[in-house]
Amino acid sequence: MTWKQNLPRTVLITGASAGIGEACARKFAAAGCKLILTGRRRERLEALAQELPTSCLVLCFDIRNEEDTLRELSDLPAGFAEVDVLVNNAGLALGLDRIPAGNPSHWQQMIDTNISGMIYATRAVLPGMVQRGRGHLIQLGSVAGTYPYPGGAVYAGTKAFVHQHALGMRSDLIGTPIRVTSIEPGAVETEFALVRFEGDKSRADAVYHGFRPLNGADIAESIFWAATAPAHVNINVLEIMPVAQAFGGFAFDRR
Ligand code: NAP
């Protein structure tokens, strides 16, 4: 019964049009939370909002745009203005080239989305949380933020930022009841690989071929658990991988 006593009333999910964000929307909606769903693909978000058994507000904007993000999330309509949980989930990886051959516009997009966009969303909702004495920031990091892999240097860097930023905010928010959690998944089968390989479906499918990856619902369960823990409990960092994923060790140049 504890989770019911700690159920948030209003949950804001960035990047709710697909994958982990969409799965979070389904999970929190099934428990009766009101939802604010954001992303760039309006049709997707509206179809999801129609389907969910709860009250939803759809907001379409590009999280890389500081002005739009602050405007949309700072001035929420009555009934949605008191955000209890921000699932700071919108994010992406682009490309898998090793750094000398990497694409600088890919790097910039990852930095602008995974770091800047996340900070803009936090900036918009955190002051209200502090004022109300109630709130939880849940950030989507990645195992890539801790364990590097070839071709992931910029993506991994953005996720290392997410991890350290979450811990830093815990330091800054001591003395308030605001909670901060970094959720750090391994391989989750979503649109992530399709986006990374810019629509190349066979390359994306190959990422998940031959083993059982996590799915969005697996991660949503963990996010829901962290969000509904008793108010005095803060889950700092949660690392979650498929059983079929592990570590490959160091590389050596033996020429
Ligand atoms: P996904 O299926 O591709 O979903 C990504 C979501 O982010 C979409 O809803 C997308 O919405 C939104 N988004 C991307 N760029 C945006 C922008 N500029 N403005 C607004 N929204 C934007 O990927 P996912 O796997 O669910 O990823 C969710 C989070 O989990 C990301 O932060 C990712 O880095 C992290 N993660 C994923 C994995 C994995 O293996 N899948 C592992 C570790 C961490 P629109 O396209 O509609 O804007």
Degrees to nearest 5, angle at CA 20 with 15 and 24: 90
Euclidean distance between CA atoms 147 and 201, whole angstroms: 26
Tens-place pLDDT, residues 200-255: 999 999 999 999 999 999 999 999 999 999 999 999 999 999 999 999 999 999 99
Q: Name the residue of 188, 196, 245 to mutate for ligand 1: max ligand atoms within 8 A of Cβ.
A: 188
Strands 56-60 and 34-39: parallel
| CATH number of domain containing 133 | 3.40.50.720
Backbone angles phi, psi at 141, to 5 degrees: -90, -145
Is residue 250 included in any domain, yes or no? Answer: no
Residue 112, pLDDT above cutoff 70: yes
Euclidean distance between CA atoms 94 and 96, whole angstroms: 7
What is the Å distance from ligand 1's center to 91 Cα? 4
Is residue 255 included in any domain, yes or no? Answer: no
Whether residue 134 has its Cβ less than 6 Å from ligand 1: no
The per-residue pLDDT for 4 is 86
In the predicted model, what is the mean pLDDT of the chain?
Answer: 97
AA identity, residue 116: S
Is residue 81 included in any domain, yes or no? Answer: yes
Residue 171, domain extent: 10-240
Is residue 131 included in any domain, yes or no? Answer: yes
Contacts of 218-222 with C-beta under 8 Å, sequence gap 24+, read: 218/188, 219/20, 219/23, 219/24, 219/183, 219/185, 219/188, 220/20, 220/23, 220/24, 220/26, 220/27, 221/27, 222/183
Whether residue 124 has its Cβ less than 6 Å from ligand 1: no
Euclidean distance between CA atoms 22 and 12, whole angstroms: 12
Is residue 252 included in any domain, yes or no? Answer: no
Tens-place pLDDT, residues 91-109: 999 999 999 999 999 999 9
Number of domains in the chain: 1
